[in-house]
Amino acid sequence: AQSVAQPEDQVNVAEGNPLTVKCTYSVSGNPYLFWYVQYPNRGLQFLLKYITGDNLVKGSYGFEAEFNKSQTSFHLKKPSALVSDSALYFCAGRYYGGATNKLIFGTGTLLAVQP
């Protein structure tokens, strides 16, 4: 079965420290992977995507993600966390199944950045 996993329900990091939010995937075909962020009482905002090309993908708000095919991972990273980065982060992958292409979401990781 195709799936996207986020093994950590919550990640705590001090402001100014680097952050990593983990994501692993199991999808058919070429992996198309996305990161979204959700602030309280808001919709999801797109951060970045991997389709093909460089394994290091740069996105919005200083975030980047590293695609690792051998480890089937797509971890989200930022060199220096801000308190304003505190939010719910979702990793998503393309569900490949005939005409029913859609996104499979991970369960989400709550990022808490302490001042």
Binding site for other proteins (CB under 8 A): 32, 34, 36, 41-46, 49, 51, 88, 90, 94, 96, 99-103, 105-108, 110
Give the nearer residue to other proteins in terms of CB position, either 34 or 63. 34
Smallest distance, other proteins to C-beta of residue 55, A = 18
Judged by DSSP in three states, 104 sits in: strand
Tokens of 55: 């394994």
For residue 56, report the phi and psi dihedrals to the nearest 5 degrees: -100, 115
Smallest distance, other proteins to C-beta of residue 43, A = 4
The β-bridge partners of 90 are 36
E strands, 2-55, are 3-5, 10-14, 19-21, 24-26, 33-38, 44-50
Give the nearer residue to other proteins in terms of CB position, either 13 or 48. 48
Smallest distance, other proteins to C-beta of residue 46, A = 5
**Contact present, 10 and 112 (Cβ < 8 Å):** yes
Give the nearer residue to other proteins in terms of CB position, either 98 or 115. 98
Smallest distance, other proteins to C-beta of residue 80, A = 26
**Contact present, 12 and 114 (Cβ < 8 Å):** yes
Give the nearer residue to other proteins in terms of CB position, either 26 or 80. 26
